[in-house]
Amino acid sequence: MLAERSTYEELCRDFRWQMPERFNIGTAVADVWAAREPNRVCLQHFSPDGKHLSMTYGALAARSSAFARGLAEKGIRPGDRVAILLPQGFETVIAHLAIYKLGAIVLPLALLFGADALAFRLRDAGARAVVTNAFGFERLTGIRDSLEALSLVVVTEGEVQAGAISLAAMETVTGEPFVPVDSGPDDPALMIYTSGTTGPPKGALHGHRVLLGHVPGFQMHHEFLPQPDDRIWTPADWAWAGGLLNVLLPALLLGVPVVSSPGQKFDPHMAYRIMAEMGVRNAFIPPTALRLMKSVEDPRQRYDLKLRTIGTAGEALGRETWDWVRRTLGITINEFYGQTECNIVIGSIGKLGVSRPGPIGKPVPGHVVAIIDAEGRELPRNTAGQIAVRRPDPVMFLRYWNDEGATERKFIGDWMTTGDLGHMDDEGYITFISRDDDVITSSGYRIGPSEVEDCLASHPAVQLAAVVGKPDPVRTEIVKAYVLLRQGFAASETLAAEISGWVKTRLSMHEYPREVAFVDTLPLTTSGKVIRRFLREQAMAEAQAGA
């Protein structure tokens, strides 16, 4: 726990890790609370028809233990990988906790994955079981014969078809009373596949301690959560570290109710409605979603919002969006930073004055973060280099699944490298520049796309923008912007020149986009990040075609 203090320096001075000898995510999240306050509400589900649902810790503990017993009766053992292919919802949480209690390893997967992406992850992990819904079951149909290790499919809804068993049936399996596995903090619990920019995705394996490692950073950017009436929601998919470890599990551990909502394409009006109707006080909203929310005029007048804190991460927030949140929602947004392998290690806390437009924040108490060079040496302040985290660290992954070489390459000595470029100023604020592979090299200048995108977002016609380098025979690369316009604006050469000039006069003569392409959509991950890799490939194809 992060004890409340009046300054950031006091937070760091007084914080100490206290790792228990035995720890299991499933029992810590549900059973401990159920023993004390079984009727305490832990989950709430938003329904568009207004028929919202709730679940208590007592029910969550009982149902997850029942499902764990059912899995054990079907031959699932400690160490087995069990995939969860579900949207936000009660059954997703029940499945997570059951698998942790059993000592098996959770493999969260997004329903938006195509057949090839699912097949790769399930085969690479050697998944023994999958818990999914009717939609996910259909996705599995075409690839199941190629999954030699898969022996069990559990379906949470709809008519159960051949080759599957219902969750309800699994929860009513009779047998000996279930006793959760007595896990240690370093025992494997969770494996999340990283998207990676080179090579196939890699499974980042975490121990049960990963949840405890998230607590100080989670409490920091939500300003000493839990506070009275705190309730949290995120549009981010729980299949990703952002939704699962930045919201769901740490909130439940701390006794804060978590609001879930049906999976959908992000809709800003629906986001405001969810937060208003469910009394959400805390939210994790990725920067792209925040930029889309700017399209709603006067949200505080249109919706009865009770927000106390907003955290954001996943990509650079930018000054323009930081200012908009403060001006429009009356909240100083708290940015934070991490990776699937080592999450929430840098953060902000506006309550203590540690929040500025531009920088991510400062190292979270308990984590040692630095800017290093290629040899692992710490660089002087205000010098660009790679953001790195020193081991050992409770939030750090155990290893990459079946890839010892990749695990070794992730470290330089005791520094876990991130592949992200940044710098630290004289006050200890860390600013993210870009992914190392997103840097644009133009006429000898190294240009980070985030700053250009932030400037583009301040133009009144621009709703979203993404910037990549397009190969150029003279300049190596030129800056190319892909722009999604606000309603009421029409694409034209005149507007493209105006947008380009906007950046030229406000940012830099060498950073402005020499090409502006207007698009109807931008490629986004399920967690709301722009997939620049797709745009880089498109720009490269255009260059090769002479466009």
Mean pLDDT over 54-58 rounds to 98
Tell me the C-alpha distance between 175 and 71, whole Å. 11
CB neighbour burial string for 465-490, b if at least 16 within 10 angstroms, e if fewer: bbbbbbebeebebbbbbbbbbeeeee
CB–CB of 510/475 below 8 Å? no
433 vs 6, more confident? 6
Q: What are phi and psi of 51, to 5 degrees?
A: -90, 75
pLDDT of the residue at 547: 58
Q: How far apart are CA 454 and CA 475, in angstroms?
A: 23
pLDDT at 46: 97
Amino acid identity, residue 34?
A: A
**Residue 378: is its pLDDT beyond 60?**
yes
Mean pLDDT, rounded, for 514-533:
84
3-state SS, residue 74: coil
Q: Which among 14, 452, 8, 402 is positioned nearest to 205, based on CA atoms?
A: 402
Rounded-to-5 percentages of helix, strand, coil across the chain: 35, 25, 40
Q: State phi, psi for 232 to the nearest 5 degrees.
A: -120, 150
Q: Is the pLDDT of residue 211 over 80?
A: yes
Structure letter (DSSP) for residue 328: I
Dmax over Cα atoms in the chain, in whole Å?
Answer: 74
Tokens of 545: 């075609």
Sequential DSSP letters for 381-424:
TT--EEEEEESS-TTB--EETT-HHHHHHTEETTEEEEEEEEEE
Q: pLDDT category, 247, cuts 50, 70, 90?
A: very high
d(CA 180, CA 300) in angstroms, rounded, equals 46
Give the chain's domains with CATH numbers.
Answer: 24-35+59-183 (3.40.50.980), 439-544 (3.30.300.30)
Min mean pLDDT across 198-202, 302-306, 319-323, 510-514 is at 198-202
Tokens (6 digits) for 447: 């240009």
Residues 448-462, mean pLDDT to the nearest whole number: 87
Mean pLDDT of 155-170: 89
User: pLDDT tens for residues 85-118?
Assistant: 999 999 999 999 999 999 999 999 988 887 888 9
Is the previous residue joined to 185 through a cis bond, with omega within 30 degrees of 0?
no
10 Å Cβ neighbour count for 52? 14
CB-count exposure of residue 532 (10 Å: 0-12, 13-18, 19+): buried
Q: What is the pLDDT of residue 114?
A: 78
Cα–Cα dist 189/103, whole Å? 7
pLDDT tens for 382-437 read 999 999 999 999 999 999 999 999 999 999 999 999 989 899 999 999 998 877 77
Q: How sure is the predictor about 197, in pLDDT bands with cuts at 50, 70 and 90?
A: very low
> Nearest Cα to 217, choosing from 317, 361, 358?
361
